[in-house]
Every structure is written in structure tokens, then in C-alpha cells.
Structure 1
Amino acid sequence: MHYFRSLFNFRPLLNTALIATAVSLTACSSSPTGRQQVLLFSSQDMSQLGAQSFEQLKEHETINHDQKTNQYVQCVTKALTSKLNPSSGFSQWEVVVFDSKQVNAFALPGGKIGVYTGLLEVATNQDQLATVIGHEISHVLAQHSNERLSRSQLANVGLQLSSMAISGTDYHDVTMAGLGLGMQYGVLMPYGRAQESESDIVGLRLMAEAGFNPNESVSLWQNMAKAAGGSQPPELLSTHPSHSTRIDDLRAEIGRLPSNNAIRPQCLL
């Protein structure tokens, strides 16, 4: 099967000098926390890629149609996305619940959100679910997929200066990995540690602004640690922050959050 035929067109690896020149010609950007990023692709290209990937996931994954479950996930998501600036281009989000034991969720460029039912066994209330969905939305807001795909192109497959587009089956796995999706559908790949930590902070601010209890983010990661059953690798061997580091960072950020009078959402499962 041919994927993303019109979106991407990779060339062979260019030499180091040409790549350095290309980066210098590419507009650098700053993430929501002020971290410098190199983004080679347009928002339109990333949105198209995200939408195509999401459609393929829906074809390969089992979609949950339970009305109560879907209303619950939609309620939490809507409370979060309602706080996003409409001018940011993130006003419309499609949310799909997948039947899977995976304790995970994801968000893709183009306003696509997937939540696995296994997550609802660990995120035991609306605030904990908002922690995860807010975190995933923050990956999109911070353009982490664009950043990772840009790094992959520069490091592994070269750069075509005339058009930032990728096509052909040879690089399907690279593009899926750039979006945070594994080589097989439904297998989610972690972002880098800096990106994960950044999404924790941005997501925490978003959930607090939406009226969710930010203290439940700590409870969520405590639940995650229990669910992992001690199977998490040492922090230096993992792209994710360790559970203890993550919790410490969240507690520190909670102490810096401004007072908020937002109406508390009422999302019940």
C-alpha cells in the first residue's frame, strides 16, 4: 500500500554543509515554554499528514461506540479545547475512542485525538483524564510532530530545498514515527524527554485554566507508576522522564499556577 504519496518527496542524503545551509534558511521557532525549535514543514502539510494518519488508524483499530464512554471523553476534551485561542487554528477537534487495553492516548496535527479505553482504567476521574488529554493536545500546540519529523529528515533522509514534501512507501515508518505512531497501527512511540516534560507543563496549565484540578495530575502519574508495576527503565535509558521526576516537576509547576476561578467541568462516566 502506498502512503502519503502526494505529501512527501525525500531526496538522498545531502552533505553536512548543505544541511547546515538549509537549516539556516529555515525559520526557527520557539515552543510555548521558549525552547528553540527547527520546523521544516508547514502547518497545512502537518495537518494533512495527521488527518490521513488518523483515517488509517480508524480503519485498522476497533472503534468504541458506547455512548456514555464517548460522551465522557468528549466532555473532557471539549472543556480543554474551549480554552484554546481560536486564532491558533485549533478550534475543531475530532475525538475517537478506541477499544484497546493500551493505557494511552494521542493527538495529531489537524485536530485529531484518540483515546484508548485502557486509559480509563488508570485515569480514574475527569481530572486525571484531562491530564492525559491536555498533555497530548500540548504536543500538537508545541508542534512536536513537526519538530521530530524535521529532525528525522535532517538526520536520516536529507533535505529537499525546493519543497518540503515527503512521498513514497520507503519513508512511511519515518513519517508515522514523527507523528508519535509506531510502525504498527496502535503502537504509540514516546516523544523526546524535553518534549514530554514540555507537554506536561503546557498541559497542566491548560487543564487548570479549564477548571480541572491540577493536583490530580500527580495522582494520575502515581497511578501510572502502579500500572507499570516497576517495569519502567531507568530515566537515563528512557525518553520519558521517570515517574518520580515527572511528579516532582508537576508539583513545582502547580505551586506556580495563578489562582483560577474557572467553572469546574462536570464530566461523568
Structure 2
Amino acid sequence: MKSLFILLISVFIASGCATHQSPTGRGQVLLFSSQEINQMGEQSFAQMKQQEKISRDKKLVSYVDCVAKRVTAVLPDQSVNWEVVVFDSQQVNAFALPGGYIGVYTGLLKVAENADQLATVIGHEVAHVLANHSNEQVSRAQMTGMGMQLADAALGAGGVSNKDLYMAALGLGTQVGFILPYGREQESEADVMGVELMARAGFDPNQSMQLWLNMAKQGGDQGPELLSTHPSHSHRINDLTKMQAQVMPLYQASKGKVQNSCQKAK
């Protein structure tokens, strides 16, 4: 299997379609086009909306939408119209998908105590999309043989099979997301990019550390679903602490430009 894996990587690299760099300079293997990976995101999100209960609490939805819109408003690509859905579930979780989709579970709002802390999570999840982590995961799945049917479904016309594998490879934090979760390198990368996004959007990056402290209190040592494959709490908080000197000037510069104050629903 190891020899086959190396051979597959060599073939893909030789074909000229594999090597890329992430926004932080990390090497990536990306085998799918943006159109293909966005289609996967669209189909997975549609399935999520069918399977999960969607919140009808207008104040709550408006609050989450406000935070998400401020974060996505500072993204370099403004051609994407991001869809935000709040799922009525006790899961302490959130996700973002290629193609412009954000899902937030109501359970997260009990841990993210204010808009700044919610922006920490949304910024982190959107950063996964910006850094092509979904494409990277699906590509890894294909190269190891786990994603051949997934690739066939993605590239073919008509109905989509193996939807659970789609969702898992895209890194969704539901029960199927543990099959192919984002790696720790990707999670750390999303932390770095996400805290910069929230600062540019006018959210206090100091609150990012408090958010993860709150997370650490949930579910014992393992933490909630969102943290199942993430770096340790102390490692993550140390990294974010080091980032403060870099991102606080961005926050200070953005505060006067923010027009929409997102108030958490009572």
C-alpha cells in the first residue's frame, strides 16, 4: 500500500496537476478543479439541510448571519454569495464548505459567548475553504484509494452516490466527519488565517483565546466535536497568543469602519 501510495503521488505530480502551495506556504496536492470541489460543497450542503433541523429563531439567525457577513465581507473574492444556515442542534460545532456555504449549530452559541468569539469559529471555518483544505482532503482520499468512487461521482453527471463519504472528505464535523477529518497542520493553518480574518472584520482577536478556553471546558479532556482532531487546547492558545501582536493593529484599523454591530440574541 505504501509503494502504491508513493506511485500514485508520483503519477499525479508528473501529470502537472498536483503541486500547490497553501496561503502559509505549505505544500499541497490538489487534484480537483474549483468547479468540481464547489459542486461537492453545494451537494453536501443541500444534504445537510435535508437531514438537519434548521432553526427558525429569527433573532438568532439574524445574529449569526450578521457575524458571518462581516467575516466574509473582508475576503479577497467578493464574487461569492455566502449562504448561512443555523442548525437547531446541541452540537458545539460549525463548518464552511467550498462554493460559499456556512453552517452553525445552536449548541455552539452557548459556548461562543459573544460576537467576537463566534467570529473566531466562523473565521476559522472559512479559512479552511480559502486554504483549499477540502480539495486537499478529497485528493488525499483519491490517492489512497478510499475516494475513487467519490471522484467518479464528483466528475460524472447525474445523481451523487456515497454522500456520506463526500461530507467526510469535505471535513464536516458531523458523525461522518471523523472518517477523513482535517489534519492538525490544516487546523493550525486555519487558526492563523481565521484570527486575521476576524481582526480585519472588526472583531476582537483577544476573544479568540477565551473562545478556545470555553471550548476546553466542554466535554472533558476530549472537548466537543469541533475539537476532535484539532491541536491541543494549550498549543492552540499559545499560537493565538503569539498572533496577537500581528493582528491587533488590523483590529484597531478596522474598528472605525465597521457599520453593523452584531448583538447576540437573548
User: Would you call these one fold, judging by a TM-score over 0.5?
Assistant: yes
Q: Matched residues in 1 for 2:179 and 2:55: separation?
A: 18
- Are 2:120 and 1:125 aligned? no
- Are 2:31 and 1:34 aligned? no
- Are 2:36 and 1:45 aligned? yes
- 8 Å contact from structure 1 (residues 190, 240) kept in 2: no
Q: CA deviation at 1:24?
A: 2.6
Q: CA deviation at 1:27?
A: 3.8
The code of the aligned residue for 1:266 comes to S
Q: Matched residues in 1 for 2:61 and 2:178: separation?
A: 21
Q: Matched residues in 2 for 1:133 and 1:183: separation?
A: 16
Q: Which has the higher contact order (CA 8 A, sep 6+)?
A: 1
Q: Cα distance 1:171–1:182, how it changes in 2: closer, same or farther (>3 A)?
A: farther
Query: Could you list the runs of 5+ residues in structure 2 that have no partner in the other structure?
Result: none
- Are 2:261 and 1:266 aligned? yes
Query: How many equivalent pairs are there?
Result: 250
Query: Could you list the runs of 5+ residues in structure 1 that have no partner in the other structure?
Result: 1-13
- Deviation digits for residues 202-243 of structure 1 (CA, Å, limit 9, x no counterpart): 00000001110000000000000111322359xxxx631000
- 8 Å contact from structure 1 (residues 19, 158) kept in 2: no
Partner of 1:24: 14
Report the TM-score when normalising by structure 2: 0.84
**Given the alignment, which residue of 88, 92, 114 partners 1:103?**
92
Q: Secondary structure at the match of 2:125?
A: helix
- 8 Å contact from structure 1 (residues 173, 183) kept in 2: no
The code of the aligned residue for 1:72 comes to Y
Q: CA deviation at 1:255?
A: 2.1
Larger helix share, 1 or 2:
2
Q: Matched residues in 2 for 1:187 and 1:268: separation?
A: 33
What's the RMSD between the two structures over aligned residues? 2.9
Report the TM-score when normalising by structure 1: 0.83
**Given the alignment, which residue of 187, 192, 195 partners 1:201?**
192
Q: Matched residues in 1 for 2:120 and 2:242: separation?
A: 16
Q: Cα distance 1:186–1:74, how it changes in 2: closer, same or farther (>3 A)?
A: farther
Q: Cα distance 1:254–1:165, how it changes in 2: closer, same or farther (>3 A)?
A: same
- 8 Å contact from structure 1 (residues 131, 204) kept in 2: yes
- 8 Å contact from structure 1 (residues 196, 241) kept in 2: yes
**Given the alignment, which residue of 120, 125, 133 partners 1:144?**
133
Q: Secondary structure at the match of 1:156?
A: coil
Q: Secondary structure at the match of 2:107?
A: helix
- Deviation digits for residues 168-223 of structure 1 (CA, Å, limit 9, x no counterpart): 87744432211113685798974100000000000000000111000000000000
The code of the aligned residue for 2:261 comes to Q
Partner of 1:94: 83
- Deviation digits for residues 109-168 of structure 1 (CA, Å, limit 9, x no counterpart): 1100000000000000000000000000000000101001101100124779xx872688
- 8 Å contact from structure 2 (residues 74, 200) kept in 1: yes
Q: Secondary structure at the match of 2:75?
A: coil
- 8 Å contact from structure 1 (residues 33, 198) kept in 2: yes
Moved over 4 A (4+): 157-160, 166-171, 182-189
Report the more deviating stretch, 169-178 or 64-73. Answer: 169-178
- 8 Å contact from structure 1 (residues 127, 216) kept in 2: yes
Alignment of 1:1-269 (within 5 A): 17=7, 19-25=9-15, 26-86=17-77, 89=79, 91-157=80-146, 165=155, 171-181=162-172, 190-232=181-223, 239-257=229-247, 259-260=249-250, 261-263=253-255, 264=258, 265-269=260-264
Report the more deviating stretch, 18-27 or 57-66. Answer: 18-27
Partner of 1:6: none
Q: Secondary structure at the match of 1:95?
A: strand
Percent pairwise identity: 55
